[in-house]
Structure 1
């Protein structure tokens, strides 16, 4: 099965899911890790890439739930906060539909951190939601974190 198109984008951030880290994992903590690549490319300004198993399907599902709520109410926040510190995304929807966005990305959380702040608007939300739905259809959350 081709994994083309299993990406989501938030402004300049592109996250591509390559595969499940432990496809035959038997419990929540093994079965839900994803092998991903996250990249921010701002030509002439910055390029940062991190790759490896630092996102879980449950991280994406929680982020998706918050994005759906934000898209419906045009208020609130949505956060992608995985256990691993390589990637953080924080969206905060303001009263006129602007979405203040902060993205932290690093391939080496011990020695470096890259923070990007930008403004998006609510018209970006449905696309991000669709992209995450597609990823979670292919890689659903398995098990419970008992």
Structure 2
């Protein structure tokens, strides 16, 4: 791609093409963003394109990343209900953070995990980028009332399923 990515975090670059359904203001369908995500590292490039990120997932990631960045401790997770992209930023000592990026164009037959490090100063730019994306594509609609498992419960279930698909063992507790 020739244009600058909308979001960069370590080796991950994300371009936002727009909403999946431009004229829908429903919370569930109106918040899907069509993205192209790409990770480059020495010897490999993995990318995926599609409606893989929901605006509220990006909002939650921003809140977690901002809090962890300010405290210089903690973890931020971009966990989509779709298994194509997952990002974990875990702060360590002295402002350093570990990035774990799972990305795949085909979650049934491919698994790609990248691990990298970054520094708190680089994450300031990422936080600004995510804020800009959410300013252009704010969460629309009202979340449905919670019935049964909470929304975070669904995220945990989806994350566990993705981990199973990617071969990571899940602790049932």
In structure 2, how many angstroms separate the alpha carbons of the residues matched to 1:63 and 1:26? 22
Consecutive unaligned residues of structure 2, counting only runs of 5 or more, are: 145-173
User: Partner of 1:15 in structure 2?
Assistant: 14
2:99 alignment partner, one of 98, 101, 121: 101
| Greater strand fraction, Structure 1 or Structure 2 | 1
Pairing of 1:110-125 with structure 2 (within 5 A) = 110-125=108-123
- The count of residues paired between Structure 1 and Structure 2 equals 142
The answer (yes or no) to whether the contact 2:6–2:13 under 8 Å persists in 1 is yes
SS at match of 2:24: coil
SS at match of 2:81: coil
In structure 1, how many angstroms separate the alpha carbons of the residues matched to 2:126 and 2:55? 15
Coordinate RMSD, CA, aligned: 1.2
4+ residue runs of structure 1 moved beyond 4 angstroms?
A: none
- In terms of Rg, which structure is larger? 2
User: Partner of 1:127 in structure 2?
Assistant: 125
SS at match of 2:88: strand
The answer (yes or no) to whether the contact 1:6–1:135 under 8 Å persists in 2 is no
User: Partner of 1:54 in structure 2?
Assistant: 52
In structure 1, how many angstroms separate the alpha carbons of the residues matched to 2:70 and 2:116? 22
